[in-house]
Structure 1
């Protein structure tokens, strides 16, 4: 029923691509609605915020994947949820702990780079070079909850 298309690390997980930027209101609201549906079902999911990391934008295909299967964009996911099918798709996946936030990032899933402190540059003896550890925003994935 759902085509097999696996995002990185999504073999046995729910993966959602979102944005926390509110520049395009409908996109932000769609992402928030799907995130709320997953949270309401209590399932643990990998959220990849494309506004926080260019790498997520490059791997982005659609919105929700479950066990390496593409489920759909916001309209399809919310329709499946309203029809009661989303819980069945998520059955057997790890459950989220209600109210639990990561001790490292408080749920943001990213931290300022430990090497350059988010500045994206390292100063060598003669020149400043781009920090190889962080993304374009000076952030690294949280080592505790990635």
Structure 2
């Protein structure tokens, strides 16, 4: 899961969650997302509730920083910037605006008509059941196997906006 800072130059990556189990965490994730949307900058949101690989990637990246941050976590140009509190303080002081000058702007913000902006859709092969049914060639019986086309939640990346 090693991410090169050269590959992330000029990019914002935000690790968030859409789970509402811990309300304060969800609200902080929403706040950071809205701050970047209001600045009309292009950013990649990695929702660890929808894909566990994002959680593993975040753990790997945070080991390098020697910090175990709480969500949301923001990286700009491949470098750890901080969580919700730091982003909020930087936004209020104007530091964030200065930092975002080199980031690509969103001209006409729109929501993907396929996934609604989540970046994931139910699997087209198993329809979200995470099981794929195959017929045994030697008998008339069917065998249920784990679907290999989707993740652990029965979701696939949206081809319209994420892929």
Q: TM-score, normalised by structure 2?
A: 0.78
Superposed, 1:61-72 pairs within 5 Å as 61=62, 62=69, 63-72=73-82
Q: 1:59 matched to which residue of 2?
A: 57
Superposed, 1:35-54 pairs within 5 Å as 35-54=33-52
1:21 to 19, 22, 36: 19
Q: TM-score, normalised by structure 1?
A: 0.87
Q: 1:122 matched to which residue of 2?
A: 132
Query: Quick check: 1:6–1:65 contact (8 Å CA) kept in 2?
Result: no
Q: Distance in 2 between matches of 1:106 and 1:26?
A: 23
Return 5+ residue gaps in structure 1 as ranges: none
Q: 1:93 matched to which residue of 2?
A: 103
Q: Does 1:142 align with 2:158?
A: yes
The alpha-carbon deviation at position 103 of structure 1 amounts to 3.2
Query: Quick check: 2:130–2:147 contact (8 Å CA) kept in 1?
Result: yes
Q: Mark the structure with the bigger radius of gyration.
A: 2
Deviations 1:76-121 (A, max 9, x none): 1111111111122222222224441123322121111112111111
- Shifted more, 53-62 versus 25-34: the winner is 53-62
- TM-align CA RMSD: 1.9
Higher helix share: 2
